[in-house]
Structure 1
């Protein structure tokens, strides 16, 4: 990772040209509702998931607002409308607020005329700077993200950088869909935009495929209401943006070579064998953040999610739309004689991953998930957003003249204490990290020393 020039705080100037509504096309024949399952309710109260897709426009010399409005925006709207027809809950509304007594759990209600808000904007900022790996003030990225209307599920913004590129921002309510469902939607939308003859198989909305013999849905509703009544209904402890510090977002690349080196180190320092690239990248980043915070003594907490479609009994089909994730906590006690190293952190994560092979293990402690999330936030546990397995770069290939995105960012990690993971296209993993300025400088030094010692 190259060392950029010293960061200068800049104001981001984005001009909103239009806000319009895009409805599913063809329209829905009749109203439909989609109840939230216990998997969905585990993520109720989370900040929306916000991603940015930066596209190098392959005809950038011809990229100006009039030509974009005339040629590309109609195609963009049409492909979005066609994708929303297949994924109609994204155009719906979340009815009912969960903490209210006397009402059932929230559900997504979809009727004819429902729509997704699309914002069209113009920006003259340095496109390459915003789409880089180096630390950037996250405040410069926020204007590229669409606001989520009240009771809304999904929103989109497309920002044109004349002569340079295009940024597509999305905001998604986390209680409606997980990363797998989101990637399925993006892949479908992109295939339609490319005018592919065949698109991915349609999503499955049948809630009957999610078994809830233990009554977790009702238990989660009770827990959410009890926590809200006690004043612990939100996840403020993770939100870096609320602390008044300058928060930076940067990407750190764990190449195949670096991951192999981390694997050898983990094996030499422990009895663990075969740590996955996911565990190695997460462990190194977790150790780096603990180091950057300066707090190496005490209980260090990490959390990741595991896909439960294949782990459920009976299995949930892969094209199921919604959340279907299990929460997996990892804890390490660090004292004056030990430290959390990349190797020890990776091994701790890998042991939990290996334990998931036991049938039913992913859901064994599910009854405590809602309270686990609040406790993790209070402890500022490091968590994970995204996954290399989603293949988000390939999924978001919009075809000529857009192509694959140059860069994908999960900007909402600023508010969730998460590492933003994605594939790097060459067998490695890219990890997005949001930290206050001082901690980011310490983390970068930790990463640079780590890579230098491995390669």
Structure 2
């Protein structure tokens, strides 16, 4: 049986399952969400993406490997008296328990992927998919869903073969650490995370363009990414709601996809973790007292610093720490001056069309700690985004106020509109 060795970046990914749920409203198709069809197409998908059907094992050197033994993935079928109208599609422990197969039984962490198909009373179906983060990042997970959907539809011509060549992210010999990498720590993980509440916030393409218009110059405005604008907005609102002292050094941790940042780039269908974490850092006064676009420039500068050399330095750093017997992990236990943001936008829900139309809802199954923001495309609103914000319950009202105040100020500045009701924010302020 083939043993698949994992990259250094895989080794420091959290060894846990990350789940997403898709809601499909019932339709008149006679084969709507047919179990027979789904199982048959999943079997074909697992032939192409064969590591998903394997099991995690420890190698001789203690590093995680995948035993590609074709044991398959966990497939669960459930029926519920719930309807789509009384389910809140926001990350929560309840959403995970309802629609993601239980992954806390002995040996569950050896599973690479799990699937649950839940038939609702209203005729709709929720598809819950979870994959172990130690092999799969967001791009790989959605490539799996896209491939499964295409095989189900019979769209074989548009399936692009995956790349499992983890040697593409091998360290240099000898290692050369040329950059600082504080985003990872050797400290043991916390036993538990503080209680948090997750709320959904939405932002339209027009509001994003409005925020970008605050930039210092025309050329600068066109260069700032949408992710930087959204990050600048939530970072500013977070610093305001925390009431941090102006001289405090605040940090924003973000995930960066490195597939196109290497020279040469990784294959687009590279299957594995190709995401690293990086900080944007600034004094609170520079964040809270400036327009969002200026804060976004701080984020953009940090993103632009992720070069081929930065990534190679990070891989070498992981290699050196491993040789020293020091186990690294992401520094995800954040202080009050730190916020983490991750984006899984640019993965259109249409890619999850199994032949019964695109899903009406897509949500991460569960939040993964305090002071965390997830960015997703908003289904049915082209160019719009939904943000899942997880904070201490006492901070959420202040964050909401800051968030909508910032958006309303843009309506007033750009359109001369002083009616908050017409801007659609009355109920939220």
Q: In structure 2, which of residues 13, 29, 40 is the aligned counterpart of residue 43 of structure 1?
A: 13
Q: Return the offset for 1:37.
A: 0.4
Q: What is the CA–CA distance in structure 2 between the aligned matches of 1:254 and 1:124, rounded to whole Å?
A: 33
Aligned to 1:453: 409
Offset of residue 360 of structure 1: 2.3
Which range moves more in the overlay, 142-151 or 82-91? 142-151
Q: Matches of 1:360 and 1:187 in 2, distance apart? A: 32
Q: What secondary structure does 1:415 align onto? A: coil
Q: In structure 2, what is the equivalent of residue 330 of structure 1?
A: 280
Shift of 1:337: 10
Q: State how 1:33-432 maps to structure 2 within 5 Å.
A: 33-45=3-15, 47-59=16-28, 72-96=34-58, 103-112=61-70, 114-131=71-88, 138-143=92-97, 144-148=99-103, 149-213=108-172, 227=186, 232-234=187-189, 242-243=193-194, 245=195, 247-267=196-216, 274-295=223-244, 297=246, 298-335=248-285, 339=289, 342-356=292-306, 359-366=308-315, 374-375=330-331, 377-379=333-335, 381-389=338-346, 391-400=347-356, 403-415=357-369, 417-424=371-378, 425-432=381-388
CA distance in 1, matches of 2:222, 2:160: 38
SS state at 1:279 partner: helix
Equivalence for 1:220: none
Between 292-301 and 159-168, the greater mean CA deviation after superposition: 292-301
Distance in 2, matches of 1:436 and 1:159, equals 31
C-alpha deviation, 1:290, in angstroms: 2.9
Relative to 1, partners in 2 of residues 1:91 and 1:285: Cα closer, same or farther, differing over 3 Å? same
Q: Is structure 2 residue 411 aligned with structure 1 residue 435? A: no
State the secondary structure of the residue aligned to 1:146: coil
Which whole-Å CA distance do the structure 2 matches of 1:142 and 1:204 have between them? 30
Distance (whole Å) between structure 2 residues aligned to residue 438 and residue 202 of structure 1: 48
Q: Name the SS for the 1:267 alignment partner.
A: coil
- Give the Cα–Cα distance (whole angstroms) in 2 for the partners of residues 449 and 111 of structure 1: 55
Q: Distance in 2 between matches of 1:442 and 1:129?
A: 27
User: Residue 437 of structure 1 aligns to a residue in which SS?
Assistant: coil
SS across alignment from 1:150: helix
TM-score by length of 2: 0.79
Q: How many residues align?
A: 390
Does the 8 Å CA contact 1:50/1:411 hold for their aligned counterparts? yes
Indicate if the aligned counterparts of 1:281 and 1:429 stay in contact, CA closer than 8 A: no
Q: By how many angstroms is 1:367 displaced?
A: 5.0
Which SS does the other structure have where 1:432 is aligned? strand
Whether the 8 Å contact between 1:147 and 1:171 is mirrored in structure 2 is: no
> How has the CA–CA distance of structure 1 residues 185 and 313 changed in structure 2, closer, same or farther, with 3 Å as cutoff?
same
- Runs of 5+ consecutive residues of structure 1 not aligned to the other structure: 1-30, 218-222
Q: Distance in 1 between matches of 2:48 and 2:290?
A: 46
Deviations 1:158-186 (A, max 9, x none): 22212242111122111101111112111
Q: Say if 1:54 and 1:167, in contact at 8 Å, map to a contact too.
A: yes
Shift of 1:392: 3.8
Q: Distance in 2 between matches of 1:453 and 1:372?
A: 43
CA distance in 1, matches of 2:95, 2:128: 10
Q: Residue 137 of structure 1: CA displacement? A: 7.9
